[in-house]
Amino acid sequence: MAEPFKVWQCSNCGFLYYEAKGLPEEGIPPGTRWADVPEGFECPLCGFAKRDFEMVEV
Amino acid sequence: MIIPTEVAQSVADPKAYADDKRAHDAFTWLRKNMPLGRAELDLFDPFWVVSKHADILEIERQNELFHNGDRASVLTPKEADRKVREMMGGSPHLVRSLVQMDNPDHMKYRRLTQAWFLPQNIKKLENRIREIARSFIDRMEDKGGACDFARDIAFLYPLHVIMEILGVPEVDEPMMLKLTQELFGSADPELNRNKKAVDDVAANVNAVAATVAEFIAYFNKMTADRRANPRDDVASVIANGEIDGKPLGELEAMSYYIIVATAGHDTTSNTTAGGMWALAESPSEFAKLKANAELIPLYLEESIRWVTPVKHFMRTATADATVRGQKIAKGDWMMLSYPSGNRDEEVFEEPFKFKVDRSPNKHIAFGYGAHVCLGQHLGRMEMRILWEELLPRLKSVELNGKPRWMEANFVCGPKTVPIRYTMH
User: CB-based contact (8 Å) between A5 and chain B?
Assistant: no
**B197 at A interface, C-beta within 8 A:** no
For residue B282, give the DSSP letter. -
Nearest-CA distance A48 → chain B (Å):
7
* This prediction's pTM: 0.97
Q: Does A53 touch chain B (CB under 8 A)?
A: no
Cα–Cα–Cα angle for B151, B157, B158, rounded to 5 degrees? 110
Any A CB within 8 A of B103 CB: no
Instruction: Enumerate the residues of chain A whose CB falls inside 8 A of the CB of residue B61.
Output: 47
The partner residue sitting opposite B369, judged by closest CB among A44, A47, A58, is A47
Distance of CA B408 to the CA centre of its chain: 11
For strands B47-50 and B333-337, give the pairing.
Answer: parallel
- H helices of B143-188, in order, are 157-166, 173-184
Question: What is the number of alpha carbons within 13 Å of residue B215 lying toward its C-beta?
Answer: 27
Q: What is the pLDDT along chain B (424 residues), one digit of tens a residue?
A: 899 999 999 999 999 999 999 999 999 999 999 999 999 999 999 999 999 999 999 999 999 999 999 999 999 999 999 999 999 999 999 999 999 999 999 999 999 999 999 999 999 999 999 999 999 999 999 999 999 999 999 999 999 999 999 999 999 999 999 999 999 999 999 999 999 998 889 999 999 999 999 999 999 999 999 999 999 999 999 999 999 999 999 999 999 999 999 999 999 999 999 999 999 999 999 999 999 999 999 999 999 999 999 999 999 999 999 999 999 999 999 999 999 999 999 999 999 999 999 999 999 999 999 999 999 999 999 999 999 999 999 999 999 999 999 999 999 999 999 999 999 9
**Quick one: CA torsion of B390, B259, B339, B52, rounded to 10 degrees?**
-140
Q: In 3D, which of B410, B382, B243, B388 has the Cα closest to residue B312? A: B410
- Residues B185-207, buried b or exposed e (16+ Cβ, 10 A)? bbbbeebbbeeeebeebeebbeb
A58 and B119: CB-CB below 8 Å? yes
Q: Is A44's CB within 8 Å of B377's CB?
A: no
In this prediction the ipTM stands at: 0.92
**What's the distance, Cα to Cα, between the start and end of chain B in Å?**
56
Q: Closest by alpha carbon to B46, among B332, B360, B387, B324?
A: B332
H/E stretch holding B223 = helix B201-228
Q: What is the dihedral of CA B221, B226, B228, B230, to 10 degrees?
A: 170
Q: Suggest the residue from A9, A15, A16, A46 to mutate for an interface test with chain B (most B CBs closer than 10 A).
A: A46
Q: Does A7 touch chain B (CB under 8 A)?
A: no
Whether A55 and chain B come into contact, CB under 8 Å, resolves to no
Whether the CA torsion B302, B306, B308, B312 is positive or negative: it is: positive
Cα dihedral value B212, B218, B220, B224, nearest 10: -170
| Own/partner long-range contacts of B169-173 (Cβ < 8 Å, ≥24 apart) | B172/B218
CA distance B49 to B326: 12
CB-CB under 8 Å, B120 with A44: no
B322 touches chain A (CB under 8 A): no
The Cα B139–Cα B148 span in angstroms is 12
pLDDT of residue B92: 98
| B114–chain A Cβ distance below 8 A for any pair | yes
Total residue count of chain B as it appears in this document: 424
Q: Which residues of A touch B114 (CB under 8 A)?
A: 14
The answer to whether B96 and B376 have CB atoms below 8 angstroms apart is no
Domains of chain B listed by start with CATH number: 5-423 (1.10.630.10)
> Is A46 near chain B, with CB under 8 Å?
yes
CA of B56 to nearest chain A CA: how many angstroms apart?
Answer: 12
Most A CBs within 10 Å, among B58, B106, B118, to test the A interface: B118
Q: Report yes or no: B362 at the A interface, CB cutoff 8 Å.
A: yes
B410 neighbors B155 (Cβ within 8 angstroms)? no
CA distance A55 to chain B (A): 13
Report the residue count for chain A. Answer: 58
